[in-house]
Amino acid sequence: MKIHDLIVLKETALHEAKDAKNDAAVEAVRVKYVGRRGLLPEIMKGLKNMDPGERPKAGQIANALKTELQILIEDRQREFSLSEAKTEDNSFDYTLPGEWRSIGSLHPISKLIEQMVDIFHSLGFIVADGPDIETPFYNFDALNTPAEHPSRDLHDTFYLEDGHLLRTHTSPVQIRYMENRPPPVRIVVPGRCFRRDTTDATHSANFHQVEGLYVDREVSMADLKGDLNYFAQQLMGPKVKIRFRPHFFPFTEPSVEVDFSCHVCAGKGCRVCKNSRWIEIAGAGMVDPEVFKAVGYDPDKVTGYAFGLGIERIAMILYGIDDIRQLYENDVRFLEQF
């Protein structure tokens, strides 16, 4: 094929595409010229047999024809598609029933966090936030955690190569908040935490907490008990029971663990409560004076309490879930119940 023949072919192909009367005619032009067995692929294969002096020019014409023809074909197809859509719209039957489109909803953990924050808002708390990746200072040192404490070990904490770590609790936000603000302080901190826990029905390496901190003059253990009891009854109803057990945390003194009665078995004993009728929900206590010193507060002038509530544990009680892993398996059949 000569260069003159290519020029004529180009004009003919573009003319046929422009004059096509419908989508089927455009498709016929596409198949004829640029389809797998079309004229252009055959011409491209035959370029190697052309005179070496004409070959570059012929290649340019063939490539230009392919590009222009494809653009024109796409434009014509879009034109016919819009024309058909307009015709369909004009004939739409508006008496047909609507098509139901399902919408998403909040994950039960997100929903529960909102409920918990709303309850604490009613007690005068505001929300504070902090990073998931922390330094040992905020996660341990400023919280009066000694260097030999087992929570610092590799078997309990996820460390990063640069010495930072994934926070093991939301308590570092207490330090960050108090560093920059004078008392009184009344905050809640919902957030994600990470520990090297062995996953089972009630434990996960990735979990959520709502941290609480109240600092002012003459804050007492009675304030802590009253606020947590109010929270439990507002969230789970007046029948829920709570109990406080003496415990030890480096950043509170005295310290307690807070249990809620097991809603799953109604006090009969089950795998969730490990037949104890209670589920550990929170660690709490009066803020240790050493923590106040680390942020520049005078422990002789202020006192305070702190607590950390396990959101997944509360979800298990509130929704009757017998295995914490169900919350993270993304099974829509389970999640759509909420």
Q: Say what percent of the chain tops pLDDT 70.
A: 95
What dihedral do alpha carbons 183, 187, 192, 196 form, nearest 10°?
50
Mean pLDDT of all residues in 242-247: 92
Q: What is the pLDDT of residue 306?
A: 96
Mean pLDDT of all residues in 16-36: 83
Distance between CA atoms of 118 and 126, rounded to whole angstroms? 10
Whether pLDDT at 47 is above 70: yes
Q: Which of 181, 166, 159 has its CA nearest to residue 133?
A: 166
Q: Which residues pair with 287 in a beta bridge?
A: 252
Mean pLDDT of all residues in 168-186: 94
Q: Is 77 or 291 the better-scoring residue by pLDDT? A: 291
Model confidence pLDDT, tens digit, residues 283-324 = 999 999 999 999 999 999 999 999 999 898 888 878 878 788
What's the distance, CA 64 to chain centroid? 49
Give the SS3 label for residue 128. Answer: coil
The mean of the pLDDT values for the chain is 86
Give the SS3 label for residue 35. Answer: coil
Mean pLDDT of all residues in 197-220: 88
Q: What is the pLDDT of residue 23?
A: 83
pLDDT grade for 266, boundaries at 50, 70 and 90: low
Whether pLDDT at 139 is above 90: yes
Residue 169, exposed/middle/buried by CB under 10 A (0-12, 13-18, 19+)? Answer: buried
Q: What is the pLDDT of residue 272?
A: 64
Whether pLDDT at 152 is above 80: yes
Q: Is 189 or 48 the better-scoring residue by pLDDT? A: 189
pLDDT grade for 84, boundaries at 50, 70 and 90: low
Distance between CA atoms of 274 and 233, rounded to whole angstroms? 23
Q: What is the pLDDT of residue 17?
A: 81
Q: Which of 265, 293, 289 has its CA nearest to residue 279?
A: 265
Mention every residue, 6+ apart, whose C-beta is less than 8 A from residue 321.
264, 272, 315, 327
Q: Which of 238, 315, 309 has its CA nearest to residue 272?
A: 315
**Prediction pTM value:** 0.66
Question: What single string gives the DSSP state of each residue in 47-104?
Answer: GGGS-TTTHHHHHHHHHHHHHHHHHHHHHHHHHHHHHHHHHHHHT--TTSPPPP----
pLDDT grade for 174, boundaries at 50, 70 and 90: very high
- Asked if 187 and 205 touch (Cβ cutoff 8 Å), the reply is no
Q: Say what percent of the chain tops pLDDT 90.
A: 43
Give the C-alpha distances (Å, rounded to integers) separating 98 from 21, 101, 103, 105.
Answer: 35, 9, 15, 21
Q: What is the pLDDT of residue 92?
A: 65
Q: What is the pLDDT of residue 58?
A: 77
Which H or E element spans position 225? helix 221-236
The DSSP 8-state label assigned to residue 269 in this structure reads: -
Distance between CA atoms of 38 and 59, rounded to whole angstroms? 16
pLDDT grade for 141, boundaries at 50, 70 and 90: very high
pLDDT grade for 56, boundaries at 50, 70 and 90: confident
Q: Determine the Cα angle at 94 with ends 90 and 100, to 5°.
A: 120
The dihedral sign for the CA sequence 56, 59, 64, 67: negative
131-134: list long-range contacts, CB under 8 Å, 24+ apart: 131/167, 132/166, 132/167, 132/191, 132/192, 132/194, 133/160, 133/164, 133/165, 133/166, 133/167, 134/164, 134/165, 134/166, 134/167, 134/172
